[in-house]
Structure 1
Amino acid sequence: MADQPVFVLGEGLQALEAAAFGTEAEFQDLLARHPRVLDFGTLSDGRPLRLVLVAREMGVATSADNGPTYWLDHLFVDADGVPTLVEVKRATDTRIRREVVGQMLDYAANGARYWPAALLQRAFEETCEADGRSLEEAYGELLGEGSERSPEDFWTTVEERLAAGQMRLLFVADRIPLELRSIVEFLNRQLRQTDVYAVELTQYRGGGELKVLVPRVYGEVAMTAKTAAGRRSPQKTHPDEMDAAIESRYGPEVRRVARALLSHAQGRGRLVGGTAKYPSMNVHYRVAGQWVPVGTVSLYESPAARAELAFSFGAITKRIGLEAAAAFAAALPAVGGLELKLAEQRAAGFRGWPQVSLSALAAAPGAVERVLAAVDQLVDGQGASSG
């Protein structure tokens, strides 16, 4: 059956006929300028959901050492810090049936791993600048006027939700095929933390510039199976859990390195439990009057109980500057391929998460001591310059 017109009653009766979007770019631009068409549902406190654009064409890396491999059409976020990933396809694009699902899951998995808080904050602020919006206005809309939350705390919440899989995945098209609807319903029943929707956005045009957009949401029926318990806040790694994993999984040399890193942070800074499915601890230090996440110690169950230290260069650069990040990198030991990764970071402006295995640090005499000396230099040098 052909699409029936929509009638607008004013001084007379005007019929608006269904009209396809001319290009995918036109479709994408509409969503970026008018995210209200995707606002359905409520926030945790019962307020209406309002999505705010973080970035259009958000880069998605597949490694901590490389730049973006893929590009997500839109990344939005709400006031609860829940990210919303959006892929847009017109009905004429055959990828809307199955290929787009694998594509979206790829973006979600890698975004959860390689979108640190500093990168997300920078993307949002660059979008605001490009749109000619002041950051004060933008954060007022996002966090609420008079909110006591800092932007850094908010984006850390977004990062934690990503790591825990607490996100929305939205497939948007002018026609949602039955195959995609079935996949969306299935994914929603299986995924406890992630919400999956398909949004059919039909456009109607009348005389002149008159347009009507009619969204229809698929996936909400399956949402009733998700309980509040399945959506609880991500659980952070407890220090006892971290200690137990270190003791049970690793030999004496790797245990020595892990405990040296964590003990140093506990003594000179603070430890913040990670929210990933594997045990992890973020090490924060007070630098130039602010807390800076310097790195993360992660203990993976596979392959072969791998343990890593990842350096948060994006956060260091964002909070205390490129010069400090470069000096910190220069002081780190050249072990386990770290020298090459740091060279790549230097060329990219120190924005990534280069990592080194704890076994490589354990195998090189004095390596962990050099890492800790580099941290001391970062903390003391910046503290002295800020005084």
Structure 2
Amino acid sequence: MVIDVPGMGMEMAEQPVFLLGEGLNALEPAAFETEAEFQALLARHPRILDFGSLADGRPLRLVLVAREMRVPTSNESGSTYWLDHLFVDADGVPTLVEVKRAADTRIRREVVGQMLDYAANGARYWPAALLQRTFEETCAVDGRPLEDAYQELLHGQSPEEFWATVEERLAAGRMRLLFVADRIPLELRAIVEFLNRQLRQTDVYAVELTQYRGSGDHRVLVPRVHGEVATANKTQSRSGQTGRKWTRADMDAALQSRNPDQRQVALALLDHAEAAGRPVGNGAAYPSFSVYFPAFGREVPVWTLSLREDPAKDDLAFSFGSITHHLGSEATSTFADALPAVGGLQQKLVAQRTKGFKGWPAVSLAALAGDPEAVRQVLAAIEQLMRHGSA
């Protein structure tokens, strides 16, 4: 990282740097020839972006999930956006990266709107199973053994638990947004610093990566990071929430403010989860539980119950991406057929079927509470799915 020296203006960026060995070799500023070259460099060498540290003080080490990551805009439509890079760290915090050269006029304002689109829709439509599958496919393409790749991330967790944490971070807005360019315009720097002050959970940075080339293969890359001051100022206010996991007692307390019918639905789901599965409190900003059920010797995330600030928005969401990944499309289709036709859920499942069951369809607790048979159907569908997984 380069530290700005007081009194030195931006004109210094045009000065050479010098490599001293057997002689003195001047390395001159050199632009990246193409955006693709720029992107490939970051994918191969993510340590260029490793600034800061993890929650426990360990150095940050970003690991590539995917280059050109699909970003859906809804459960019903196809993917219309492509994020340049998605990385993740050992705390399960995702890092979204957009790369632009200074010659691209979109680096000033348009790229900000793009990034916010990616962050908002990725948080909604990147289930844990999709992220895990994408990461493992990237490792296979790059020829990197999964054992080596996961060694940097898991630290005693299972892969499923780790990616569930990543999904929770996304849902809670815990992520980093990085704008990377060979020159950061003042307009973009101002926007980044403003966003970083305003966004409580999300950290926003602009990384200016200057390249110097000399004779032969000599090459120097110098990153300069903008936005760290605003991040440091908000870290203390956020530190009390880091790693927060909701407990069953938290869920029970939150349910006291719900009407009796919705409370009965939620308690039936939670009691069944404790008896037959493994409920895990999420790190979302609102009380939330995800439940894993055993299947083929692994624990599969099946549903998440979320109690929002507005009780009308309380919902039960099904992890179809994970179910499909672990149990196959036939078992997922049977599961979908067994779910109740309430609250628009069936219409969502029809749309899911056309997309290969990779989304996260949800139904409100109010809709489930309005049909006396709905919860029984949900629990029966889960039991049927578990029997398939134990066969």
TM-score, normalised to structure 1's length? 0.88
| Structure 1 SS opposite 2:90 | coil
Match of 2:99 in 1: 88
- In structure 2, the CA distance between the partners of 1:10 and 1:68, relative to structure 1 (3 Å rule), is same
Instruction: Give the whole-Å Cα distance in 2 for the aligned partners of 1:128 and 1:323.
Output: 27
- In structure 2, the CA distance between the partners of 1:189 and 1:359, relative to structure 1 (3 Å rule), is closer
Match of 2:4 in 1: none
Instruction: Give the whole-Å Cα distance in 1 for the aligned partners of 2:54 and 2:213.
Output: 32
1:331 aligns with 2:338: yes
1:175 aligns with 2:183: yes
| Aligned residue type for 2:26 | A
User: Contact between 1:74 and 1:86, CA under 8 Å: does it hold in 2?
Assistant: yes
- Determine which of 8, 26, 30 is the counterpart of 1:19: 30
User: Contact between 1:196 and 1:219, CA under 8 Å: does it hold in 2?
Assistant: yes
User: Contact between 2:294 and 2:389, CA under 8 Å: does it hold in 1?
Assistant: no
Instruction: Give the whole-Å Cα distance in 2 for the aligned partners of 1:178 and 1:305.
Output: 43
User: Contact between 1:333 and 1:371, CA under 8 Å: does it hold in 2?
Assistant: yes
| Aligned residue type for 1:76 | F
Q: CA deviation at 1:108?
A: 2.1
What CA deviation, in whole Å up to 9, does each residue of 1:286-344 have, x standing for no partner? 33333222111223344x72232211111112223333222212222333333332233
User: Contact between 2:291 and 2:301, CA under 8 Å: does it hold in 1?
Assistant: yes
1:239 aligns with 2:276: no
| Structure 2 SS opposite 1:277 | coil
Match of 2:142 in 1: 131
Q: CA deviation at 1:229?
A: 5.2
Match of 2:316 in 1: 309
Identity of aligned residues (%): 70
Instruction: Give the whole-Å Cα distance in 1 for the aligned partners of 2:56 and 2:287.
Output: 30
Instruction: Give the whole-Å Cα distance in 2 for the aligned partners of 1:274 and 1:148.
Output: 18
User: Contact between 1:299 and 1:305, CA under 8 Å: does it hold in 2?
Assistant: no
Q: CA deviation at 1:25?
A: 1.6
Instruction: Give the whole-Å Cα distance in 2 for the aligned partners of 1:79 and 1:361.
Output: 37
Q: CA deviation at 1:40?
A: 1.6
Q: CA deviation at 1:380?
A: 2.5
RMSD: 2.4
Q: CA deviation at 1:195?
A: 2.2
| Aligned residue type for 2:296 | A
Instruction: Give the whole-Å Cα distance in 1 for the aligned partners of 2:366 and 2:218.
Output: 65
Q: CA deviation at 1:171?
A: 1.0
What CA deviation, in whole Å up to 9, does each residue of 1:60-119 have, x standing for no partner? 233344443322111111222221111111112222222222322332233233322212
| Structure 1 SS opposite 2:14 | coil
| Structure 1 SS opposite 2:233 | coil
Moved more, 62-71 or 155-164: 62-71
- Determine which of 204, 215, 221 is the counterpart of 1:213: 221
Match of 2:374 in 1: 367
User: Contact between 2:100 and 2:181, CA under 8 Å: does it hold in 1?
Assistant: yes
TM-score, normalised to structure 2's length? 0.88
Instruction: Give the whole-Å Cα distance in 1 for the aligned partners of 2:80 and 2:275.
Output: 39
Match of 1:352 in 2: 359
Match of 1:73 in 2: 84
- In structure 2, the CA distance between the partners of 1:281 and 1:48, relative to structure 1 (3 Å rule), is closer
Q: CA deviation at 1:256?
A: 3.5
Instruction: Give the whole-Å Cα distance in 2 for the aligned partners of 1:254 and 1:46.
Output: 42
- In structure 2, the CA distance between the partners of 1:222 and 1:50, relative to structure 1 (3 Å rule), is same
| Aligned residue type for 2:242 | S
Match of 1:321 in 2: 328
- In structure 2, the CA distance between the partners of 1:368 and 1:70, relative to structure 1 (3 Å rule), is same
Q: CA deviation at 1:16?
A: 2.2
User: Contact between 1:164 and 1:234, CA under 8 Å: does it hold in 2?
Assistant: no
Alignment of 1:90-169 (within 5 A): 90-143=101-154, 147-169=155-177
Match of 1:33 in 2: 44
Instruction: Give the whole-Å Cα distance in 1 for the aligned partners of 2:185 and 2:156.
Output: 44
Instruction: Give the whole-Å Cα distance in 1 for the aligned partners of 2:270 and 2:211.
Output: 56
Q: CA deviation at 1:247?
A: 4.0
| Structure 2 SS opposite 1:282 | strand
Instruction: Give the whole-Å Cα distance in 1 for the aligned partners of 2:59 and 2:222.
Output: 19
Instruction: Give the whole-Å Cα distance in 2 for the aligned partners of 1:11 and 1:240.
Output: 68
- Determine which of 241, 248, 252 is the counterpart of 2:257: 248
Match of 1:225 in 2: 233
Q: CA deviation at 1:155?
A: 1.6
- Determine which of 253, 261, 273 is the counterpart of 1:265: 273
Instruction: Give the whole-Å Cα distance in 2 for the aligned partners of 1:223 and 1:343.
Output: 43
